[in-house]
Amino acid sequence: MIQQLKKEDMKNLEKFYDQTYGSLHILKNNLHIKWQFKKNPFLKKDKTSIIVYKHNNKIISHLGFIPVKLKFFNSIKKGVWHVSFFTLNKFRGKGLGLKLVKFSNKSFDFAMVLSGSEGTENIYHHIGGHTMGNLKRHINILEKEKVEKYLKKKISFQRKITKTEKKYKLKRIKLLNSRYDKFWNDVRERYPITTERTRKYMTWRFLKHPLVDYHFLVLENEKNIIGFSIIRFENKNKKIKAARIVDLIVKKEFEDELISSILDYCKKKCHFVDFFCTGNFYSTALKKFGFFNNRYKNLKIPTVFNPIDTNRRPEINFLYADLLKSTKNDILANENNWYLVKSDSDQDRAY
């Protein structure tokens, strides 16, 4: 029997998580569960965005989902991110994952996954979905010797930095107001298909996150916002320290200034900065300030900290399905029509 998780299923769910993920997994953290699956601003009140398959009153398969508003050219679509697929070994091969996905898709226009497994890809292909490929991982090494020490190898390229005169102010904020609304309404046309970054969504996703201390940085021209970036520092490891750019939105003419200001902000706080995104957004400006696409350099710089996991695959792929079959495939297959970043879906988690 497939159903949306009910309050009386919580003890059963804990047993399922113990059996499948173990006691240290983030799904065992109640703060994370409540934030991710109950407090999402696009979720109906009193609902939990987890679907389960029950057999003999026990949970045997599990699917989490994150509803979002999808800015789709000049319209808004109902999007859903699928996360936390798991079926008990004994019940695999019976199509339960496909049934859960189909059940969850009934209320949405687009279904999406970041970092999908081979099994998830198969499910998406069954529902008419596609695999886009991997997000680009742009890396900027701030302290070359520290990174070389961690990698135990010399890095054969030099970091070239373009100098730029700073005209505007970068500052960290803890609250969004109508200035943010105006900025997003002005800039959103730059991104054909992306998350609709409403004030409500951004507050939930970053400013009221219960476990991660995100630095919400805005670039200001007098009293107007002209760009923002969300930074997460992972600097508790003694071996190597990182700054993750997990979101970046900026008016095109201010790209250089924002990226240069981000690097200044990160200096002495970390050894490298990275940024995952689709398409060619900011590629020229990032390269100008010393970023490189690690798809070609293939340095084994870890993507998962807390603790460092060298076995986790470094790539983040993107799967999508047009559930209404309303858009031409060539439009959706164009990577530059999508602007997705690491903080979409569940790819930037506390651990």
Give the per-residue pLDDT at 158: 63
Percent of the chain with pLDDT over 90: 89
pLDDT at residue 45 tops 90: no
Give the per-residue pLDDT at 35: 98
pLDDT at residue 59 tops 90: yes
* 48-57 tens-digit pLDDT: 999 999 999 9
Give the per-residue pLDDT at 266: 97
What global pTM score does this model have? 0.95
pLDDT at residue 181 tops 80: yes
Give the per-residue pLDDT at 159: 63
Give the per-residue pLDDT at 153: 93
Please spell the DSSP secondary structure of 99-163, one letter per residue. HHHHHHGGG-SEEEEES--HHHHHHHHHTT-EEEEEPEEEEEES-HHHHHHHHTS---S------
Section 86-110 average pLDDT: 96
Nearest CA to 135 among 233, 235, 248, 228?
A: 248
Least confident of 71-85, 206-220, 286-300, 320-334: 286-300
Give the Cα separation of 6 and 42 in Å (integer).
Answer: 18
pLDDT at residue 247 tops 90: yes
* 115-172 tens-digit pLDDT: 999 999 999 999 999 999 999 999 999 999 999 999 999 998 666 667 778 899 999 9
pLDDT at residue 229 tops 80: yes
Q: How confident is the model at residue 310 (pLDDT cuts 50, 70, 90)?
A: confident
* C-alpha of 142 from chain center: 23
- Residue with more model confidence, 162 or 212: 212
pLDDT at residue 228 tops 70: yes
Radius of gyration of the chain (CA): 21
Residue 287 is encoded by which pair of tokens?
Answer: 């390269």
pLDDT at residue 211 tops 70: yes
